[in-house]
Chains A and B, each alone.
Chain A
Amino acid sequence: DIQMTQSPSTLSASVGDRVTITCRASQDISSWLAWYQQKPGKAPNLLIYKASSLESGVPSRFSGSGSGTEFTLTISSLQPDDFASYYCQQYNSPLVTFGPGTKVDIK
């Protein structure tokens, strides 16, 4: 199975901050990378697919980049609703793997 790592595991930030989360794959996954946001007690919510495509309805302050083995999720200006956990997911078929997650909390 392809292994995914994320950094940092926890990130303390303030409203208005620019935030970047990094995800790395153990082998080349081209652009088959998605990012999810999850809040406590809720199912994950898709933010970005195919590394850089914004899912419909997701605010434009979220963006993704990268290809191959290294990817980033950027929140351009952190909003109160953005304090949550974020997971990357590779879907270089047929198997799927999630990263361990990054918790974004209030500084």
Chain B
Amino acid sequence: EPEVTQTPSHQVTQMGQEVILRCVPISNHLYFYWYRQILGQKVEFLVSFYNNEISEKSEIFDDQFSVERPDGSNFTLKIRSTKLEDSAMYFCASSRDRGGNQPQHFGDGTRLSIL
């Protein structure tokens, strides 16, 4: 069964540094998402992306964050000038279409640790 793959599985970064989290969505999917999960808390939406542009973003997704689909397979989340509170699991998801007919499939996440 096709999967969403994320790399790296664990990223350790010094506070203030930039980090790029990478995702390879399922190949025939058109909608891409980033979510985060702070330890012990619920999963929170960050951003959705379709047709090479952001379609929706949450209040968490400020100027510190950016997303990009640099080629036909990868989808990246860049976090500039990282802060301690950015430490979390970051999940990428993809769907073939929007709405309940085509559910979002999640990767296994990248654990980001900011020191």
* A and B: bona fide binding partners: no
Interface residues, chain B, CB within 8 Å of chain A? none
